Amino acid sequence: MSFTIPRQYPGTRMRRMRKDDFSRRLMAENTLTAADLIWPVFVLEGSNRREAVPSMPGVERLSIDLLIEEAREAQALGIPALALFPVIDPELKNELAEEAYNANGLVQRCVRELKAACPALGIITDVALDPYTSHGQDGILDEAGYVQNDRTVEVLIKQALSHAEAGADVVAPSDMMDGRIGEIRRILEQERLHNTRIMAYSAKYASRYYGPFRDAVGSAGNLGKADKSTYQMDPANGDEALQEVAMDLAEGADMVMIKPGMPYLDVVRRVKDELRVPTYAYQVSGEYAMHMAAFERGWLEDDRVILESLMCFKRAGADAVLTYFAKRAARLLAQ
Ligand code: PBG
């Protein structure tokens, strides 16, 4: 990109345009609205139940009935979609993650009830096995403990189909197995679920910023000290993300995602520039926890920092952001 600077001080004073609110607003290159926000939520069994997540102050695990109330509020605030994550009863977890595709499982029931209560609200489901495996990995292990790709994809297909049949608008594979987007697209087409969208977690890094999420869904204890670096990406890599995104698009993804968010905004920009497709980023649990910790200590001012953090995703090229701040940010934006 060539960059010419024909104008010189004092003919050009950059501060002139910054002087007043009206001219600052006129030159704003990006906007942030409630339509840019996707709200990740945690659902648990039971009724009238809410549990705090200690490492994510302000975030709660909710039973379906309470989640529906919150979903109505989110919709009224203009948030287009929720991303649903289940807290699975430890007794239902096993080596083969069989509960993942139970047509009457927690996620499948929750999707049906949410769609009945708020039909216009987009429901995005997480397609991955980690909430369902006794070891906390996102796939089926061989004897050596290695996550088997094709064996795992067979289960992911069943899981994605069960979500789509329950009425999920978007299925979002977050596991990073090779070839899963193509296989999920194939089964959806075969079952005539032509309009189920796929949001691919295409560039998902093996990140330690997911710690609080693993507490929230209760997979941290199962996973222990093990990590996910044989399938999630190395934080050292950028080009590899473009290849992942290109492959997921070729396999049938409608939208692609980069995750985590703020430490990976360079990847968001590169993906948007090179592929020019609907591009999302996930401000993950660790990013949320860091912000909240600083707010609680009074080290950062909360409202303005939340909005700044989200605007930065827009500037980097994201079309929307998955953020635990979604509702709070939407309220601020409504003021
Ligand atoms: C599971 C999944 C994870 C997140 C979303 N889906 C955790 C992981 O990969 O271990 C993390 C979200 C967050 O940290 O907010 N496949």
Q: What topology does CATH give the domain 30-334?
A: TIM Barrel (3.20.20)
Query: What phi and psi, each to the nearest 5 degrees, are found at residue 97?
Result: 55, 40
Ligand 1 pocket residue status of 138, Cβ below 6 Å: yes
Domain boundaries, the chain: 30-334
Residues 6+ apart with CB under 8 A from 5: none
CA of 19 to the centre of ligand 1 (A): 43
Quickly state the pLDDT bin for 222 (edges 50, 70, 90): confident
The Cα 133–Cα 98 span in angstroms is: 8
Given a cut of 90, whether residue 220 has pLDDT beyond it is no
**Alpha-carbon torsion angle 96, 102, 106, 109, nearest 10:** 160
Q: In this structure, are residues 170 and 198 in contact, taking their beta carbons and an 8 Å threshold? A: yes
Given a cut of 90, whether residue 82 has pLDDT beyond it is yes
Nearest CA, atom 14, ligand 1: 210
Active site residues: 204, 259
Complex ipTM: 0.96
Quickly state the pLDDT bin for 1 (edges 50, 70, 90): low
Reported as a single tens digit per residue, the pLDDT across 165-182 is: 999 999 999 999 999 999
Reported as a single tens digit per residue, the pLDDT across 280-295 is: 999 999 999 999 999 9
* 260 cis-preceded (ω within 30 degrees of 0): yes
pLDDT at 209: 97
Ligand 1 pocket residue status of 128, Cβ below 6 Å: yes
The Cα 335–Cα 318 span in angstroms is: 23
Which own/partner pairs from 109-115 qualify as long-range (CB within 8 Å, at least 24 positions apart)?
A: 109/64, 109/166, 110/43, 110/64, 110/67, 110/84, 110/86, 111/84, 111/163, 111/166, 111/167, 111/168, 112/166, 112/167, 113/64, 113/68, 114/64, 114/67, 114/68, 114/71, 114/82, 114/84, 115/166, 115/167
